[in-house]
């Protein structure tokens, strides 16, 4: 089986919804288009509304503390610049995320599915031309599906790979081979990427994307089975271009 791109996913609002797309045009020095453009600042967030800049993930609502957020799905309409959100316990909601009033509508929509949040959701925010990724550089996350299956085997039952909230899901690598790619350049479709570092994981990955319940000890299994808490790798785009599901994944010399 050739190594190839199996799935492409984006998450327009950090930790609040996912959307599968068949193709995307990557841009040099940028995150995946429409991925983590917005984030939900909680009531104790230090995000500066007057001088917005990239801010560490602890300042935003996340599935690590609110696992029910994993159930949110999202559809973007780039032509009208709207987002439509779906959750089994909430009515469908469509908003223009750049409209302050509609941003407040989203906070009201998500509040009932944020039980037990240490700090309740407060405001939908963004930074112009900067993705709200967990990294302080524009990153794209790669998930090796063979590594996912290896972890499934250790845990003893099937798990959805969507709990990792990755952008590019890769098929055809050996388990854990992605860690050997750190520092290497990759060719994917017409784009090229450089793998930067492993992704250290949080408790969001313990939550089932279908039920919103913590049902798998992903972190403990990684620590005890492999001696680390990493899954997937971050990459940066060095040459932009279109990328389509099914494209060959090639490690460059």
pLDDT in tens, 1-57: 689 999 999 999 999 999 999 999 999 999 999 999 999 999 999 999 999 999 999
pLDDT at 151: 98
CATH number of 4-29+136-251: 2.40.33.20
| DSSP E strand boundaries for the chain | 4-10, 19-21, 23-26, 38-42, 73-77, 82-87, 90-95, 121-126, 140-144, 168-171, 185-188, 191-200, 230-239, 241-244, 249-251
pLDDT at 118: 85
- The dihedral built from the CA positions of residue 143, 145, 151 and 156, taken in this order, carries a sign that is positive
| Residues of the chain below pLDDT 70 | 1
pLDDT at 8: 99
Contact 125, 41 (CB under 8 A): yes
The CATH 2.40.33.20 portion of the chain extends over 4-29+136-251
Instruction: Identify the bridge partners of residue 141 per DSSP, sorted by sequence position.
Output: 234
pTM: 0.96
pLDDT at 1: 65
pLDDT at 38: 99
Residue with the two structure tokens 């995946």 = 32
pLDDT at 115: 81
Contact 228, 160 (CB under 8 A): no
Contact 140, 193 (CB under 8 A): yes
Q: How many CA atoms lie within 13 A of 172 on its CB side?
A: 14
């Amino acid at each position: 089986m050739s190594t190839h791109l199996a799935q492409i996913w984006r998450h327009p609002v950090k930790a609040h919804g996912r959307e599968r797309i068949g193709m995307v045009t990557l841009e040099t020095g940028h995150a995946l288009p429409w991925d983590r453009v917005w984030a939900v600042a909680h009531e104790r967030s230090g995000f500066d509304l007057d001088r917005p800049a990239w801010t560490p993930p602890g300042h935003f609502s996340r599935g690590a503390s609110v696992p029910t957020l994993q159930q949110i799905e999202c559809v973007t309409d780039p032509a009208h610049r709207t987002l439509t959100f779906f959750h089994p316990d909430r009515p469908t909601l469509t908003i223009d995320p750049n409209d302050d009033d509609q941003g407040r509508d989203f906070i009201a929509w998500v509040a009932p599915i944020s039980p037990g949040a240490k700090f309740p959701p407060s405001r939908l925010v963004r930074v112009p031309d900067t993705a709200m990724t967990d990294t302080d550089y524009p990153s794209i996350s790669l998930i090796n599906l063979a590594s996912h299956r290896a972890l499934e085997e250790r845990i003893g039952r099937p798990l959805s790979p969507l709990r990792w909230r990755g952008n590019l899901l890769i098929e055809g690598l050996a388990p854990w081979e992605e860690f050997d790619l750190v520092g290497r350049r990759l060719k994917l479709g017409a784009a090229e990427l450089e793998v930067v570092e492993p992704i250290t994981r949080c408790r969001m990955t313990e939550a089932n994307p279908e039920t919103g319940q913590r049902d798998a000890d992903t972190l403990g299994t990684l620590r005890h089975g492999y001696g680390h808490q990493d899954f997937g790798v971050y990459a940066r785009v060095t040459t932009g271009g279109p990328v389509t599901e099914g494209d060959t994944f090639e490690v460059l010399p």
